[in-house]
Structure 1
Amino acid sequence: KKTIKNGFYFFMLELREKEEAKGRKFSGLKDVVDVANPMWSEMTPEEREHYNKKASLAKGADEDGRHKFTSLGVSYATIDAEAREKEESINIMLQTIRNTVRSLDRKTTLLTHKFYLCHVNYFYKTERDFYSVAEIALSEFNLCDGLLKTLHFFVDPGKIPLGLRFEAKDWAEKTHGIPYDWNCGEKDYYKIYISIRNFLSKGTSANIPPIYTMPDSLNSNMCLSAVKSALTTLCEASSENTFQFRVYPFPQLFYEIRNKCAETDDKVSGGTLVPSVAIVESEIEKDVFSYAKDLGCPFHEERDLTIHCSLSIVTRWVYTICDHCCKHVGISLELGKHCPRDADVNWDYKYTRTAGQSAVEEPENNRAKHNDFMPTIIDHGKLREIREQQFLQEQESLRRAAELRLPRLMINAGAAGPSNGRRDVMTGRGTRKIPEETPWPISGRGKLL
C-alpha cells in the first residue's frame, strides 16, 4: 500500500529526525505515529500550514513526473515505476533464496535438498537482450551426494540475421568455439523444453524449482540474462508460459549455504562466516577446477576448450560449492561426485596442521592480512601443477635472459685521485670496485706494437 504523503506525514519525518538526533531510536514510522499524533492534534491551523505546503509541493512534483518525457517519448513516471518494479523483484528473489536455505535443517534437509545450476553459451545478443543459444547445460546436486546428474544440449541457432554473422563467428572463436553454421545442434526446441522441464520437475506437474547461474559479466561468458533469454525462447517456441522458470544468482545461494553449514545447534558460528556475497563470487570466479580432466562434452574435450564448455562449467560449480561447504557438515568428499577424480581429498588434515603452526609463528598483525573466510578441503596443487611448472619455466627463461643482457653501468664521475687499476661503478643500489682493463696498444692501421 502506497503511503499517503500529507502534512502529518512530513511532520512525522521532521519529528523523527529531531528525536533521533537526541539519541532516540524508532523501528519505523508506526512508532513515530504514537508520538506525533498527540502533538499534531494540539497544533493550530497556522502551525500545520507549513507541513501542508510541503505535501502540496510533493504532490505537484509527482504530477509533473507523469507529464514529463525523455527524448525517446517515455515518461519519467514510467521509468521510475520500472525501476521500482525491478528493485522489488530483486528483493523478492534474494528473500526467496534466503528463506529457502534457512528453512532447511543443518543436519538433515540441508544435506539432501536438491539444487539446480544452469549455464548457456550463445552466438550473439541483440539490444533487446535476446541471446542466440549455442549450448545449454544443467546440473543437479546436493551436499550429501554431490553431483547427481546433468543435462546437455547443443542448440541450432537457425538463420542468423544479416549483419550479425561476424559477431557470432568472432564471439564463438573467443569463447566456446562452436561454429554458427554447425548442423549438429538440436533443432526441435520443444524437445529441449520438455527435457529441461522433466529434468527439473521429474515429469510431474509440481512447481519447478529455481535455477541458479552466475550474474552478468562483461569479462566472461557467464550471463544470467543469457539463461533467462534461452529459457524464454524455448517456452515461446513451445507455446508455454514464459514465467514458469525462475533464474536466480548462484553466488547468493552459495553464500547462504556456506554460512548455514558453518552454524552450530545454538546458531553460533562454528567456523568463520563469509561476510559478503562478493567474497563467494570471487571464489567461484577463481575456477580452481578449470583444468580438471573429463568434465566437458566430447566436442570441447577434443578441441581443448573444456574451460568454456557449459557442461564442464555447471559441473565445476558443483565441485566448488561442495569443496567449501561439505567440510563444515562432516561430509567426506567422494571423487567424481564432490570433486574431480584427480583431486587430493586429504587436504583437510594438511590445512588444519599448517594453519595451527602459522597461527603460532605469525604475528597478530600479519595474520589479520590473510583471508581465511573460505578454507577448502581439496588440495588444488595437483590441478595447478601444470600451471606452476609453466610459471617456473617462464621465470627461469626470464632469469637467463636477464643474465645475457649487458648491465647498465653508471661510472662514478666524482671519484678523484691516482689510478689504482680499479674504478668505482654504480650498479643497482650501491657501488663496487672492478678492475680496469688495459687496452691493447695499436699503431697505424690497427697493427699491434
Structure 2
Amino acid sequence: MKTGQLFPLVFTCTRRLVHAHAAACAPIWLSVDCCHTCCAASAPTVFSTPLARAGTLLTLHMAQNKPNAFMAFVADWRAFNRFGRGLSTSEAVAKCGPIWEGMSDRERGPYKSKAKDSNVLERESKTERLNCLGVTISKMQVEKNEAIDADLQMKRNIKRIVLKATNSMKLEEEEFLFVSFNYFTKALNGDVYQPAELSACRFSLKGGISSNYSTMINPGHIIFGQTSDAQDHSRTTHKLPLPPNAMGEKNLGNLYSDTLKWLSASNDEEDGQHDHPVIVYTTPELMPVVKSCFRYLACEGDTDKHAEKIMVYDICYLFLTLKKTVLDLVGVPNDHMNIHVTNSFFRRDFFEFSSGIACDYHEKVDRTKYCTKSMVLRWGYMISLYICGDLAIPLQPRKHVPIEVKHSYTVTPGDSSLALDGTSTDSGYSGY
C-alpha cells in the first residue's frame, strides 16, 4: 500500500452511518455521533496505521452494539414514562444520564442482570436454532412453558375464590368484575392495543348486575403507520371515530386512576386493604386486549406503581367452575360439564341482539353487538340464565336478564325434602 493512499472505512451506529476516508500513514481523528454514553464520554480516537484504524473501528462497533445496563435503564425509563416516549434515543440518553449517576449499586442491579441476560441470549442465539423471526427455539419453549404455568395458576385461583365463597356460605353474594375493551388498532411489532372504549360491571348470582362503568377513550393519535388498519377495524366492528376526532376521555392517566378506583371499591370496603390485586374477568379472545389496554392506560399516568394491580382471568373458566360447584351443592351430577360446554354457551350469545343494553352511540349506529357495555351485560345475563335456576334465584329484569326477556322457568316454594333429578329442564342445563 502506497503512502497517502486513501481507503474507505464504513462504521455503523444506531444513530447514523459514518463514512471515513483515512490516509495510510497520516493519523486521523474520528468523532462519532452515537446514542451510547461510552461514545459521548470518550475522546476522539487516534489511528496510526490502516490496520489499526480498521481493527479499532471494528472493536468499537462491537462494543457499542453490546447490551449494557445503562441502555437497559434507558429503555425501561422510556417505556414507563409518558414524557420519555416522545424523545429520541439520544435525548433520552441525555435525560437519563444524571439519573443513572445518582442511582446506587442496588438500584442498578436489575438493569445489570438484564444486560447480562441479553448478552447470554445473544451468545446462545449464535449457536442455537432460530425460527423464521430470528427467535431461538429455546426461548420460544420457555415462553410457552411460562404461558402454561400462568394459565394453571389462573385456574387454581378461580377455583380457590369460588371454594372460599362456598365454604363461607356466600357464593350467591360473591361479586365478580367483568371488563371489556374496544381498540382502534394493534401495533405490528408488539402486543400493544390502542384502547377506544372501556366497560365494566359488577355481578353476583343473587343480585345480578348491580352497577356498570362505561366510557369512550381518545388516545389523541393513531399509532404511526396504522391509520389504514384502524379505519378498516373500526368500519367492520365498533364504528367509533378515529383520533384525533375520537370521543371520550383524553386524560388517560386520570382515566386509569378512576377505573382502578371503581374496580377496587367493593374489595376495599370488604377487607379494608388497598394493595391487593384486582381480579377482572373477560373472554379468552379478549384477554390479551384487556391486558394490553390496561398497560397502555397505566403508562400514561404519572406513576406506574399500580401497573400490575389488575389481573385478567378467563370468564369462561369462571362460568364452568360456578356451574360445577352449584350442581354439587344441589346434588346433581356434573360429569357432563366441561369447558367445551360452557364455551358453547358464550358462543351462542342469546342476548346478542337485545335492545336497550348498549350505549346510546352504538344503539344509534346499529352496532350493539360490538358495544363493550352490551358485552359485559350479556355475560352477566348468560351466567344468570344458566346458573340461577339451579339455586332457585328469581331472575330480575335488568339485573339477570334484559327487560324484554322472559326466563324459561318459575321458582315454586315447596317441600325441601323433595329430591332433585338430573332430567329437570328448569335449571337450563338439560341436554348436556
Alignment of 1:170 with 2:232, yes or no, is: yes
Q: Aligned in 2, Cα 1:373/1:340: closer, same or farther, shift over 3 Å? A: closer
What is the TM-score of this pair, normalised by structure 1?
A: 0.59
Alpha-carbon contact 1:117-1:139 (below 8 Å) kept: yes
The equivalent of 1:87 in structure 2 is: 148
Q: Does 2:308 align with 1:246? A: no
Residue 274 of structure 1 and its aligned partner are, at CA, apart by 4.6
CA positional deviation for 1:231? 0.5
1:18-417 map, 5 Å: 67-70=127-130, 74-105=135-166, 108-127=169-188, 128-181=190-243, 182-202=245-265, 205-216=274-285, 223-238=286-301, 239-241=303-305, 242-264=307-329, 269-270=331-332, 272-348=334-410, 375=428
User: Per-residue deviation at 1:77?
Assistant: 3.1
* Contact in 2 for aligned 1:112/1:144 (Cα 8 Å): yes
Instruction: Supply the distance in 2 between the matched residues of 1:332 and 1:97 (Cα, whole angstroms).
Output: 25
Q: Secondary structure at the match of 1:263?
A: helix
Aligned-pair CA distance for 1:75: 3.7
Shift in Å, 1:247: 0.5
**Cα distance, 1:235 vs structure 2:** 1.3
**Residue identity matched to 1:270:** V
Query: 3-state DSSP class of the match of 1:173?
Result: helix
Deviation at residue 149 of structure 1 after TM alignment: 0.6
Deviation track 1:342-366 (CA, whole Å, cap 9, x = no partner) reads: 111353489xxxxxxxx9xxxxxxx
- Cα offsets for 1:67-111 (capped at 9, x unmatched): 414155544333322222221111111111112112222783111
Is the Cα contact below 8 Å between 2:386 and 2:429 reproduced in 1?
A: yes
CA deviation vs aligned residue, 1:283-337 (integer Å, no higher than 9, x gap): 0111101111210111111112111100011001001001111111121111111
CA distance in 2, matches of 1:244, 1:276: 30
Residue 205 of structure 1: how far off its partner (Å): 1.3
Q: For 1:332 and 1:107, how far apart are their aligned partners in 2? A: 22
Shift in Å, 1:66: 9.8
Task: Give the Cα–Cα distance (whole angstroms) in 1 for the partners of residues 296 and 216 of structure 2.
Answer: 15
| Aligned-partner residue type, residue 185 of structure 1 | G
What is the RMSD computed on CA atoms of the aligned residues?
Answer: 2.8
Question: Per the alignment, in what secondary structure is the counterpart of residue 260 of structure 1?
Answer: helix
Aligned counterparts of 1:65 and 1:276: Cα–Cα separation in 2: 42
Identity of aligned residues (%): 24
- SS of the counterpart of 1:151? strand
Note if contact 2:327-2:390 (Cα within 8 Å) is conserved in structure 1.
yes
Q: 1:196 to 1:172 in 2, by over 3 A?
A: same
Question: Counterparts of 2:182 and 2:250 in 1: how far apart (Å)?
Answer: 16
Cα separation, partners in 2 of 1:274 and 1:74, compared to 1, 3 Å? same
Whichever residue aligns with residue 68 of structure 1, its letter is: E
Q: Which secondary structure state, in structure 1, belongs to the residue aligned with residue 329 of structure 2? A: coil
8 Å contact kept, 2:354–2:402: yes
1: distance between equivalents of 2:407 and 2:380? 16
Which runs of 5 or more structure 1 residues have no equivalent in the other structure? 1-63, 217-222, 351-358, 360-366, 378-449
CA contact (8 A) 2:217 2:246 kept: no
Cα distance in 2 for partners of 1:89, 1:66 equals 30
- Maintained 8 Å contact 1:123/1:172: yes
For structure 2, the residue ranges without an aligned partner over 5 or more in a row are 1-123, 413-420
Counterpart Cα distance in 1 of 2:336 and 2:379: 18
Q: Is the 8 A contact 1:121 1:176 kept in 2?
A: yes
Cα distance in 2 between the residues matched to 1:200 and 1:164: 31
Q: What amino acid maps onto 1:80 in structure 2?
A: Q
Deviates more, 1:271-280 or 1:289-298: 271-280
Q: Is the 8 A contact 1:67 1:75 kept in 2?
A: no
Q: Distance in 1 between matches of 2:348 and 2:374?
A: 15
Contact kept in structure 1, 2:199 and 2:376, CA below 8 Å: yes
Bigger radius of gyration among the two: 1
Contact 2:214 2:373 in 1 (8 A): yes
Secondary structure of the corresponding residue to residue 104 of structure 1: helix
Residues 1:342 and 1:376: Cα distance change in structure 2 (over 3 Å): farther
Residue 213 of structure 2 aligns to a residue in which SS?
Answer: strand
Q: TM-score, normalised to structure 2's length?
A: 0.61
Question: 1:111 aligns to what SS in structure 2?
Answer: coil
Partner amino acid, structure 1, of 2:327:
A
SS in 2 for 1:282: helix
- The offset of 1:169, in angstroms, is 0.9
Following superposition, the deviation at residue 201 of structure 1 comes to 1.3
Deviation at 1:271, TM superposition (A): 5.4
- When residues 173 and 342 of structure 1 are mapped into structure 2, their CA distance, relative to the original with a 3 A threshold, is same
- In structure 2, the residue matched to 1:17 is none
Give the Cα separation in 1 of the matches to 2:196 and 2:157.
Answer: 30
**Corresponding position of 2:106:** none
Output the amino acid matched with 1:259. K
Aligned length, in residue pairs: 287
Letter in 2 for 1:198: K
